[in-house]
């Protein structure tokens, strides 16, 4: 590992401090290094807060003059919620900037690098680039596609069932796997389910502590896909702390205008009408609305019909599937899409990781639509 890689590794570790709390912004870490000594460090912790470079420069003070900055993402060159980092870097007199990954935000993409170079700063790009890009795969996905990075999560038996025929599902996996799911919810700014799951299971879709109380200042945005606006105004998740977005069709919003105004009168509830095709709402348009509301990623928790519709429209990017070593002789399948005819229709998974979780198995993979 070269000295540059060594410092960039530290900057990546610093960036991780902001994990799951910076959306819609990226994770960014920065170090200011003078004569081989780290004199400043910073992480971006939340949208609207100072950028990583600003924290690091403040800590370094006068020592930033003539120093090297290591930063995991190209310094911004635009006025957003905060002023451009390129100007702060130039003002502090930093003479060399080492960058892991170019920013994809069109307001800055390559412009931060050229601004610094034009001002006479030595700039090196691409040190530990793959790791830095992996860190921000959700942010880059949102900026590149206008939709959140979608992770499908399910817990099923080895026979592929998520519940018995009666709908009974408590519990498929053991306590360790269920605790991991709470952690997974913490890692995503949005959680989505279909209306059938809301009606059948009355889920709360909150991050909870051991006592069952919804905790923390960062509850995920709950997203309900509800083509016909069937959600009852009394649904308990509408009263949970945090924001709820109900995505429905323009037609349903017209047909149920009274319910629509009752729903929007509840605290942090927003109903978003989108276009309709073949009787169902346009999922991609719904996802774009979620991205526009500041969510870099979305955890899709089911049910079987909604999940299959997401896969059929190629909208799932990654899967996290917990498998319990149990066989149900009959039950509800994890996925319920259009009838299939050939094995060749199967969607392939790649980059598979399998992990034992106290008697259950966790299976993580990227989705390959070919």
Catalytic residues: 53
141 belongs to the binding site for ligand AOF (CB under 6 A): no
Longest dimension (CA), the chain: 70
211 is annotated as contributing to ligand binding: no
Closer to ligand AOF by Cβ: residue 94 or 235: 94
Tell me the two tokens of residue 254.
């017209």
53 belongs to the binding site for ligand AOF (CB under 6 A): yes
Sign of CA dihedral 331, 304, 366, 209: negative
Of 108, 136, 197, 297, the residue at the interface with ligand AOF (CB under 6 A) is: 108
Enumerate residues 27-46 that contact ligand AOF by CB under 6 A: 28, 44
Give 277-284 contacts, CB < 8 A, sequence gap 24+.
Answer: 279/227, 280/227, 280/249, 280/309, 281/225, 281/227, 281/247, 281/248, 281/249, 283/225, 283/309, 283/310, 283/313, 283/315, 284/147, 284/313, 284/315
Q: Which residue is nearest to ligand AOF (CB)?
A: 80
Of 51, 147, 153, 188, the residue at the interface with ligand AOF (CB under 6 A) is: 51
Helix (H) and strand (E) counts in the chain: 12, 18
203 belongs to the binding site for ligand AOF (CB under 6 A): no
Whether the CB-CB separation of 100 and 127 falls below 8 Å is answered with yes
Of 11, 33, 52, 190, the residue at the interface with ligand AOF (CB under 6 A) is: 52
Q: Supply the DSSP string of 214-226, one letter for each residue.
A: B-SS-PPEEEEE-
Closer to ligand AOF by Cβ: residue 25 or 227: 25
Q: Which partner, Zn ion, ligand AOF, none, binds residue 103 by CB below 5 to 8 Å per kind? A: ligand AOF
Of 15, 45, 76, 238, the residue at the interface with Zn ion (CB under 5 A) is: 76
236 belongs to the binding site for ligand AOF (CB under 6 A): no
Whether the CB-CB separation of 282 and 225 falls below 8 Å is answered with no
Enumerate residues 32-71 that contact Zn ion by CB under 5 A: 51
For residue 152, the tally of other CB atoms under 10 A from its CB is: 24
List C-alpha distances in Å: 192 to 153, 294, 341, 345.
Answer: 10, 15, 29, 26
Whether the CB-CB separation of 194 and 336 falls below 8 Å is answered with no
202 is annotated as contributing to ligand binding: no
Q: Which partner, Zn ion, ligand AOF, none, binds residue 81 by CB below 5 to 8 Å per kind? A: ligand AOF
102 belongs to the binding site for ligand AOF (CB under 6 A): no
CB 76, min distance to ligand AOF, A: 4
Binding positions: 51, 76, 85, 155, 169, 185, 197, 201, 205, 208, 227, 301, 303-309
Provide the binding-site residues for Zn ion, judged by CB under 5 A.
Answer: 51, 76, 85
Provide the binding-site residues for ligand AOF, judged by CB under 6 A.
Answer: 25-26, 28, 44, 47, 51-53, 73, 75-76, 80-82, 85, 103, 105, 108
């Amino acid at each position: 590992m070269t000295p540059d890689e060594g410092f960039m590794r530290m900057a990546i570790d610093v960036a991780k401090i902001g994990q799951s709390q910076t959306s819609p912004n990226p994770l960014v870490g920065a170090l200011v290094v003078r004569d081989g000594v780290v004199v400043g460090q910073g992480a971006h912790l939340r949208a609207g807060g100072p950028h990583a470079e600003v924290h690091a420069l403040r800590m370094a003070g006068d020592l930033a003059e003539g120093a090297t900055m290591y930063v995991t993402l190209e310094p911004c060159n635009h006025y957003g919620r905060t002023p451009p980092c390129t100007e702060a870097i130039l003002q502090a007199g930093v003479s060399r900037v080492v960058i892991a990954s170019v920013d994809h935000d069109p307001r800055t993409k390559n412009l931060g690098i050229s601004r610094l170079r034009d001002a006479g700063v030595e700039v090196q790009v691409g040190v530990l680039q793959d790791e830095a890009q992996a860190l921000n795969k959700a942010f880059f996905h949102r900026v590149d596609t206008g939709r959140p990075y979608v992770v499908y999560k399910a817990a099923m038996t080895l026979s592929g069932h998520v519940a018995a025929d009666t709908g009974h599902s408590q519990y498929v996996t053991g306590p360790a796997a269920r605790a991991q799911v709470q952690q997974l919810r913490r890692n995503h700014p949005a959680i989505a389910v279909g209306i059938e799951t809301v009606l059948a299971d009355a889920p709360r879709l909150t991050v909870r502590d051991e006592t069952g109380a919804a905790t923390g200042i960062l509850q995920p945005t709950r997203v309900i896909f509800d083509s016909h606006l069937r959600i009852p105004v009394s649904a308990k998740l509408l009263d949970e702390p945090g924001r709820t977005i109900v995505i429905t069709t323009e037609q349903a919003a017209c047909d149920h205008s009274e319910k629509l105004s009752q729903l929007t009168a509840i605290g942090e509830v927003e109903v978003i009408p989108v276009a309709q095709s073949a009787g169902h709402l346009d999922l991609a348009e719904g996802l774009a609305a979620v991205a526009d509301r500041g969510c870099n990623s979305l955890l899709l928790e089911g049910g079987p019909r909604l999940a299959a519709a997401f896969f059929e429209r190629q909208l799932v990017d990654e899967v996290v599937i917990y498998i319990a070593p149990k066989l149900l002789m009959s039950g509800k399948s994890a996925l319920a899409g259009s009838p299939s005819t050939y094995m060749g229709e199967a969607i392939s998974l790649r980059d598979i990781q399998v992990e034992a979780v106290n008697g259950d198995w966790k299976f993580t993979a990227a989705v390959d639509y070919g």
